[in-house]
Structure 1
Amino acid sequence: MDATTTQAVEAANGKLVTRAAHRVPTAGGADLVHFPVTTPRGQDYGAQSRNHERQLRAALGNKPIDAAVVHAHVGLPSGWAAVQNARPDAKVFVTEHASFLERVFQDPEAVELYDELLARVTGFFAVGDKVTEVLGKQFPHHADKILRIPNPIAFDASRPAPVTELRRWLYLGSMVELKGVNWLVEAFAQCHAEDPTLTLTMVGEGPLRKPLTARVAELGLSDAVDLPGSIPHEQALDLMREHDLLVHPSRYETFGMTIVEGIAAGMPVLVTRCGGPEKTLAGIEDAAGELIDVEENAESISDGYRRLRGRFDSSGLDLKRAQEQLAAQYGYEAVAQAHYRLWFPDSP
């Protein structure tokens, strides 16, 4: 899309955005306002951030965000848009959880904007060690400003009945190589050959969805494996309460929010030691499920499933203990209190 067309599209969106914006009630009586941002295909991260900055300003009617404290989710594009549109006296905080920061920093303009962002924000939080490591390597002069804080997870929705057997597998995530989805299908085929009652639901979109669908058909597993594509988050949480086992064979995770959500929903987990999960589940690995090494094969997953199923059948797990520990660290109340103490350090 050429510059003239892009400007025309942004101008049109600016006129319509007040009609398109819609509010969704959230916790504590607050409203979350959604509004559309037009983004040219293939736009680099730096240009995308300036794009969000301009379109947020248009949505605000060229007025600053009317708040003493502003929190942004991820540094680019949201954090940049926030610092550029905040009141001069406002405190701006940013939480970063993106697992693809190294790709972001391949764009020189993005590096420049992120550097300025870190200099200007009041507080900056990373959700895991991997995010902190990437940021510290890229911006060593800002290392002292990068703090740790987790993503919040809801622990208040129970499943209709506890898991009694690990037959219904569930995967939630992108259909990309980084998530180990190819190996997951092959591992499921091995386990399904031993127990034809097993099923697998793989939720998500990505370039591997069509090839995986073809591979499932080739293996004769179309009746046992469902690939519904992308679904709303609330529907994903419902699936967690309906399935027996969350299988997450990712090659790399900064935190592993889906894993904590699965345990919160009462599911055992079979997950790789891919960065975040082994830290998130420290001390409750056996209570929550089974952790396996990152290996480029299907057997590591299928062998892990057999071990977990053997333990589950003989003595069960201790999901209640796992839930209690995780809620104390990652529940909404715990994370909200952590944010509040940082946002308002002088409050009682």
Structure 2
Amino acid sequence: MTIHFLVPAGFAERPSGGNVYDRRVHVGLVGLGRDVMSHEVGSEPEVAAVVRALSDSSVVLVDSLVASWAADALLAEAARLRLAALVHMTFDSPGERELLAACSVVVTTSGWSRHRLAEHHRLDAARIHVATPGVDMADPAPGTETGAELLCVGSVVAAKGHDVLLAALGTLADLDWRCTLVGPLDLEPDLVDELHKAAADSGIADRLAFTGARPHDEVQAAYAGADLLVLPSRGESYGMVVTEALAHGLPVVATSVGGVPEALGHGEDGSTPGLLVRPDDADALAAGLRRWLEDPRRRRRLRRSARQRRLTLTTWSRTTAQLSEALEAIR
């Protein structure tokens, strides 16, 4: 059975979590002996051309980003193909609900997303499978005594809440901290300009480092040199950076949105390896960061919990196996 995998153009290079996931499961499926053919597509006409050329009953695995703008082209061929949707996130775009309903299998990256699709799109829960993102295990980060090295990883776009983070950090000028922000700066340049101005106005610009997108090895080095991951997102279907941080034994302060609590999880003793705060609330985020910075006992407790959680994280081989099992249902 050949799996035709429709992925966004540039998926091989772009550092988004969805692209990383797609790359890892592609390699993993091939490693399991699956015949996988990836088709990078950047427009609906390209999608239409690809699916029209496929023979009847071909298995087509569609990344949700592609599905968000190519639903019509896919629906036109849905009756003769075996469609599976890989849903990193939903977009509520025209035709999305109908396309998901036409798929034989829907795979989500979190239990939260599975529940949301069943409720919001009224899909049959029996057709929705979960393949949680995996991680590569790393050595535990040593950390510093003061816990002052903060790290934020994610594209600098409004949805990721960098403005909320800077507003929170602006109220913590009396404490010792530095924050490294790793992620592409070219997606919403006006926002980046606003963030630099806000940092200058609040007097914290010299404590921030906007690195832009970095190669994989440099991102791993950033985790290894950090004390705490901060994720101020306004929405996340899972939050792969949370588990990437935990793979280094880093605690997390994050907004309690979407699948983030699921990604954060618990240590084997039931403890939580971080703090969850309300989204879009700079005061709540600042309070969480202040508790981390001011309380050494809390830091020790969260670090211990993060190192426990590190040992229970999903591997990429497990992720691939879950996806492979879901695709078997198409038969």
- Could you tell me the TM-score, scaled by structure 2's length? 0.72
- Please list, as runs of the form range in 1=range in 2, the aligned pairs for 1:95-114 lying within 5 A after superposition: 95-98=86-89, 100-102=90-92, 104=93, 107=94, 110-111=95-96, 114=97
Larger radius of gyration: 1
Shift of 1:303: 1.6
Please identify, of 337-346 and 257-266, the stretch whose mean Cα deviation from structure 2 is larger: 337-346
1:317 counterpart = 2:304: yes
Distance change in 2, residues 1:344/1:164 (3 Å): same
Shift of 1:68: 6.2
Q: Which has the higher contact order (CA 8 A, sep 6+)?
A: 2
Distance change in 2, residues 1:236/1:174 (3 Å): same
Distance change in 2, residues 1:79/1:185 (3 Å): same
Structure 1 unaligned regions, length at least 5 = 1-19, 40-49
Number of the residue aligned with 2:284: 300
Number of the residue aligned with 2:170: 189
Shift of 1:339: 2.3
Describe the superposition over 1:281-319 as per-residue Cα deviations: whole angstroms up to 9, x where unpaired.
Answer: 3434844222223352x2312221232342344544232
Number of the residue aligned with 2:261: 278
Letter in 2 for 1:200: T
Shift of 1:56: 3.3
Equivalent of 2:143, from 148, 159, 163? 163
Structure 2 unaligned regions, length at least 5 = 1-9, 14-22
Which whole-Å CA distance do the structure 2 matches of 1:299 and 1:199 have between them?
A: 17
Distance change in 2, residues 1:137/1:164 (3 Å): same
Contact 2:68 2:91 in 1 (8 A): no
Describe the superposition over 1:256-294 as per-residue Cα deviations: whole angstroms up to 9, x where unpaired.
Answer: 222112212332111111131223334348442222233
Shift of 1:247: 0.2
1:245 counterpart = 2:228: yes
Shift of 1:118: 2.4
Percent same amino acid at aligned positions? 21
Contact 2:74 2:99 in 1 (8 A): no
Which whole-Å CA distance do the structure 1 matches of 2:262 and 2:11 have between them?
A: 39
Letter in 2 for 1:210: D
Equivalent of 1:115, from 98, 119, 124? 98
Aligned length: 297
RMSD: 3.8
Which whole-Å CA distance do the structure 1 matches of 2:284 and 2:57 have between them?
A: 50
The alignment partner of 2:246 has SS state of: helix
Distance change in 2, residues 1:193/1:52 (3 Å): farther
Describe the superposition over 1:3-33 as per-residue Cα deviations: whole angstroms up to 9, x where unpaired.
Answer: xxxxxxxxxxxxxxxxx99998934558987
Contact 1:172 1:204 in 2 (8 A): no
Contact 1:241 1:266 in 2 (8 A): no
Shift of 1:38: 4.8
Which whole-Å CA distance do the structure 2 matches of 1:246 and 1:138 have between them?
A: 31
Equivalent of 1:94, from 85, 96, 105? 85
- Could you tell me the TM-score, scaled by structure 1's length? 0.69
Contact 2:227 2:251 in 1 (8 A): yes
1:257 counterpart = 2:240: yes
Please identify, of 182-191 and 283-292, the stretch whose mean Cα deviation from structure 2 is larger: 283-292
Contact 1:255 1:275 in 2 (8 A): yes
Number of the residue aligned with 2:108: 126
Number of the residue aligned with 1:16: none
Shift of 1:129: 5.3
